A and B are shown apart, each in its own frame.
Chain A
Amino acid sequence: MQAPFAPLVVRASAAEGELNPLVPHLVEIVLSLIVFGILFLLVKKFVVPSFEKTYADRTQAIEGGLAAAETKQAEADAKLAELEQQLSEARHEAARIREEAREQGASIISEMREQAQTEATRIVDNGKAQIEAERQQAVTSLRAEVGALATGLAGRIVGESLEDDARQSRVVERFLADLESGSAPAGGSGVN
């Protein structure tokens, strides 16, 4: 047991000449500070800004992409709303025009009907008036003719007795009145 540790013991007690690992080599202190200092400066100047810029760019790219997408979405929404509004306006317009046309059509039809009615009435009235006038004319001329005819006929039958104007006209009038009441045969029998 003693043997393996003997060298260590000897070594530890070897006093002055032995190395103490805790005692630093001054050159190493300075060197480590210089080397690390240079590394630090290089890293600070070249590496960290580069990484940070990449991070920032990436964040911005992602956020920018999101913002762009949002803008596009908003644009599309606005467009859609606009189109929908246009569509509803067009529908409204169409409905209005249809309604108008219907009203117009109805008014035209009623106007036409009225016109036709008036025209028909006018034509009927005209016809009636014409017929009346013709009838009147016929009556007048018939009366004159029938009077003369009857007088002549009666004069020949009864002779001079009917030369007297007053009687003549009285007889004619009575005859005609019988005739007008639609009983010509009665007048005829009256004549008989």
Chain B
Amino acid sequence: MSSLIPASEGFTPPGPADFDLPGIGGDFGSYEFLGQTQLLAVTKPMLQLVLAAVLVFGFFYLASRKRAMVPGKLQFVGEEAYGFVRNSMARDIIGSHDFMRFVPYLFALFFFILLNNLFATIPFIQFPTFSRAGMVYGLAALSWIIYNAVGIKKHGFLGYLKLQSVPAGLSGPILVLLVPLEFMSNILVRPVTLALRLFANMFAGHLLLILFALGGEYILAEMSLAYAPVGVLAWVLFIAIAFLELLVQFLQAYVFVLLNAMYIQGALADEH
């Protein structure tokens, strides 16, 4: 890596390579994909993914198991968290008629993404799982399949295409312009934006944190004392941005699930 950089400056700015973590305990070889070499190995984000699933299920299983009429602390927190996704996202957006079918999906999705995002801030983990594009693509593809399948099941294939690509209340030549646009935005672009929004936020946030942390360290350690205040400022900003990232992590999980719910609602909507 450092061999690529001219040695004029000693500082190596963080880049995509910092997200390409080495396999834990070595790798089992590699493969080429789209001109890139990918290692076949068990990496930290993979373990985080599993850990998040275990923690989410473990917590909510324990919280929901007692089923007390008057909930204890654990059950109360669990019910509040569950009720947040169930009521304010699933029910309020999809509508009280259909929403129950999608509650397990939206609920699991929200807390799965939230915890994986929070891993970026949790000490000793400090890596956002979804800064790995592959992790996000999987979930975005699943969202795309689900909302389209739901719509096709309800309206039939052509009926669903019409619902998604013909705007209501319009007729005449304007449709020639609008139908392709609607089709693009509702069918083709949605999974891409869904994936990139989550991925890019996590990626950029983590990159920013690394930059401030490593930059501050470099200034304090390698440069003359006159620059020390700048290094300290960098670290102060690092802490401030870490708190901002907490907000972003929550918001991205929220937006991802909210959009899922809205897409499902749009696919289930009756003809306008």
Where the two chains meet, the residues of A that have a C-beta atom closer than 8 Å to any C-beta of B are: 3-4, 6-8, 10-11, 14, 16, 18-33, 35-36, 38-40, 42-44, 46-48, 50-54, 57-58, 61
Contacts and interface: CB of A to CB of B under 8 A. Distances in A.
A62 B210 CA distance: 53
Interface of B, helix, strand, loop or mixed by DSSP = helix
B105 interface: yes
A42 B68 CA distance: 21
Nearest to A21: B16
Interface residues of B, number: 61
Given A31-B49, A38-B53, A48-B107, A7 B13 contact: yes
A51 B38 contact: no
Contacts of B4: 10-11, 14
A4 B218 CA distance: 13
B6 A6 contact: yes
Nearest to A14: B4
B104 interface: yes
B82 interface: yes
| A-B complex: 7 closest residue pairs judged by Cβ atoms | A28-B134, A24-B134, A32-B138, A50-B64, A44-B104, A39-B53, A19-B16
Interface string B4-16: 1110110111011
Interface of A, helix, strand, loop or mixed by DSSP = helix
Most buried by B among A25, A26, A39: A25
Interface string B128-142: 000111111111011
Interface in B150-204: 199, 203
Contact of B112 (A24, A36, A53): A36
A7 B67 contact: no
B134 A26 contact: yes
A43 B57 contact: yes
